[in-house]
């Protein structure tokens, strides 16, 4: 499982998106559609984001979380110098995130019981570590 290789020190992120030609060995982000799923952090604390099209056809970026109330925030590293702050219900282990990724891979959606918090892309989403 690739998410288990995230160490929060040198390996921070993992992204999947649907490629138009799965037979091609060369795929770039420009080859994909508007949707993707990405994870950042380390194997024991990872955050998952997904870009999905809304009912109006516009894509939006969301953080995936559990439906439980959030009681605190955690900084998740996304590079050696930057981190994102997420709520406690938005922190997963690599094994938990793998289930979310697998469902997205099969369905292009985030399954229940997970909830989505839309990110405001007009705001700075990361901070210094």
% the chain with pLDDT above 90: 46
Report the distance separating Cα 47 and Cα 85, nearest Å. 9
Q: Which residue has the higher pLDDT, 118 or 31?
A: 118
pLDDT for 11: 65
Residue 5 has pLDDT above 60, yes or no: no
CA atoms within 13 A on the CB side of 13: 12
Per-residue pLDDT of 64-105, as tens digits, reads 999 998 889 999 988 888 899 999 999 999 899 999 999 999
Residue 19 has pLDDT above 80, yes or no: no
Report the distance separating Cα 110 and Cα 108, nearest Å. 7
Question: In sequence order, what are the beta bridge partners of 13?
Answer: 40
């Amino acid at each position: 499982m690739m998410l288990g290789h995230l160490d929060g020190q040198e390996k921070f992120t993992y992204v999947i998106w649907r490629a138009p030609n799965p037979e091609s060995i060369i795929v770039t982000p420009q080859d994909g559609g508007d949707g993707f799923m990405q994870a950042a952090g380390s194997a024991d604390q990872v955050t998952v984001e997904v870009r999905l099209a809304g009912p109006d056809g516009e894509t939006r970026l969301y953080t995936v979380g559990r439906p439980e109330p959030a009681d605190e925030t955690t900084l998740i590293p996304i590079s050696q110098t930057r981190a994102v702050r997420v709520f406690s219900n938005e922190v997963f282990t690599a094994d938990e995130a793998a289930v979310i990724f697998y469902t997205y891979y099969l369905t292009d959606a985030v399954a229940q019981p997970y909830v989505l918090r839309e990110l405001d892309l007009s705001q700075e989403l990361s901070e210094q570590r």
